[in-house]
Structure 1
């Protein structure tokens, strides 16, 4: 491809159109002094740099819309402030300051959850102790820790009964 051809203005990607509507990337010189060859660009190919970005037609009108919205918001705020002030002046405050209160439950939800958790934990301990009893009944020797657990069985059962009775009331 000779350099005697007429060249049009390059696109943002550097592609130029020569006189016979052929598009090429012109030859360039590398930093080390060697020359890159001129390369043909296939017809219909549009590099990403040359694709026109979409422009929203309403974007230009955005400033106008913002000013309209700001004015509308200002008017609404003024109206709402006036209404609030008139409502406050209309309200009469009771001298006794009695406010209706919700009936308080004797047991709160947190206390109920805590007791159910404790019940589950105690039931698990009792199940473990029953397994240890079965182990003892089969004639196996118990460890010191297992004997200590068995000694606490009655107190744990009593605590479990007490929690369940308190839960029913």
Structure 2
């Protein structure tokens, strides 16, 4: 198809025309007037992004002044054999190191823990709210609306006595 547009005809007026041509199926194209500098769509090169150009470009080794050869995938960056990253440590080794660190952290304790700066009245209000939630859960279980409580809900119910003790202690302070 690009052959059909290869020779533009320039008239006496300075206008450019693409001459009439025959299509492969035997029908004829009309002659078309085009602007100066027109390039047919078939002859326009396809757009290629920088990344695609980079990936298709052949990487040639570069000889450094030290005599070593290096690849240059990015302008200004030279990668020699010594610079290539080593193998990553296995997951088992990483997990064992993490476990060691966790054991060390658990064995060490802080000498002075920061004091709680919350207002006792706010804390009491929060504890009473949590107690109401526990009582609501107990009521739902007893009435049968909550047939299978989640393990977290059961743990919450089991902490009821602790909540009551904390509430009594705070009420004595206030």
Question: Structure 1 or 2: larger helix share?
Answer: 1
Q: TM-score range by the shorter chain?
A: 0.3 to 0.5
The TM-score, its normalising length taken from structure 1, stands at 0.33
The TM-score, its normalising length taken from structure 2, stands at 0.32
